[in-house]
Amino acid sequence: MKQSAQGSAGAGTPPGEARVPAQARAADGLDGFRERDTAVPAARGEHTHGERPVPGARPAVQRSSVRGQILDALRAALVTGELRPGEVYSAPVLGERFGVSATPVREAMQQLALEGAVEVVPNRGFRVVERGARELAELAEVRALIEVPVMLRLARTVPGERWAELRPLAEETARAAASGCPAAYAESDRAFHRALLALSGNEQLVRIAADLHRRAQWPPVRQGRAYLVADAAEHTALLDALIARDVDMVRALVTEHFAGAS
């Protein structure tokens, strides 16, 4: 990964365009972006040489949008292990790889620093934080303390038909697991858990739980299609128990689910 990130932006990109991965394709990691991804206007929103700016026209894609796409791709690279714990990555070098200026990459990296994923290395860039088993176990414990009581309360109060509406999300986690792509699965996994907790009506709970969930997904301690498929199967079983209002089964499943995440 480190070597690929240091490669040049490559030829074949039309002037004034930046190749930034769409979120759906960010799961593939950092390598080969330029061949696969969709072109968007340059990150700085400036016109390039040979182009006449249209008076009063707004850029098709604002820099914040490009930054968001890069942030999604970097998060996916953390989950897949493309961004390796302990390694230092330069914003200009990654920007060259993405085909954008260093500014949106640096801004995305600063957001990751706030999330605890990377740390600033003065005059060098950003180092991916190395997490041990203890920290991951602590994250799993905190998630369980927050989510398990809420799920048990919701199991007693939310009608079965409301849970049934979430069936497509559970099926999506199964499809993502079958693909074997950890980044795609991580995204669908978060969406499923977020939808479950959203039925509580507590937006702060959903936001805090989602942040903890994202932090718990990297570095990728367990990978492989078999693990992902087994984890997705727990989602389906949990949803079945919630629809049936089987509180004892819900308790057993959510407890086991978080124990397996540690």
Q: How far apart are CA 147 and CA 211, in angstroms?
A: 13
pLDDT at 143: 93
DSSP code at position 128: E
| Single-letter code of the amino acid located at 55 | P
Q: How does the average pLDDT of the chain come out, rounded?
A: 79
List the beta strands (DSSP E) in 56-137. 88-89, 118-121, 125-128
Closest by CA to 186, choosing from 151, 208, 219, is: 219
Q: Which two tokens stand for residue 46?
A: 């400036």
Whether 236 shows a pLDDT value over 50: the answer reads yes
Distances (CA, A) of 208 to 147, 189, 197, 213, 253: 10, 16, 11, 9, 22
Average pLDDT of 126-155? Answer: 92
pLDDT at 223: 65
Average pLDDT of 190-208? Answer: 97
Average pLDDT of 142-157? Answer: 95
pLDDT at 63: 54
- The pLDDT tens digits for 39-98 are 333 333 333 333 333 333 333 435 568 989 999 999 999 998 899 999 999 999 999 988
pLDDT at 146: 94
Closest by CA to 260, choosing from 140, 151, 146, 170, is: 140
Portion of the chain with pLDDT greater than 90, in percent: 57
Distances (CA, A) of 145 to 53, 103, 139, 154: 55, 38, 10, 15
pLDDT at 262: 46
Contacts of 41 (CB under 8 A, 6+ apart): 16, 17, 18, 59, 60, 61
Q: How confident is residue 34, by pLDDT bands cut at 50, 70 and 90?
A: very low
Whether 23 shows a pLDDT value over 80: the answer reads no
CB-CB contact of 151 with 254 (8 Å): yes
Please give the model's pTM, rounded to 2 decimal places. Answer: 0.71
Average pLDDT of 5-27? Answer: 40
CB-CB contact of 184 with 176 (8 Å): yes
Q: How far apart are CA 56 and CA 246, in angstroms?
A: 60
Distances (CA, A) of 96 to 7, 8, 28, 171: 8, 6, 18, 38
pLDDT at 216: 87
Domains of the chain: 2-128 (1.10.10.10), 133-261 (1.20.120.530)
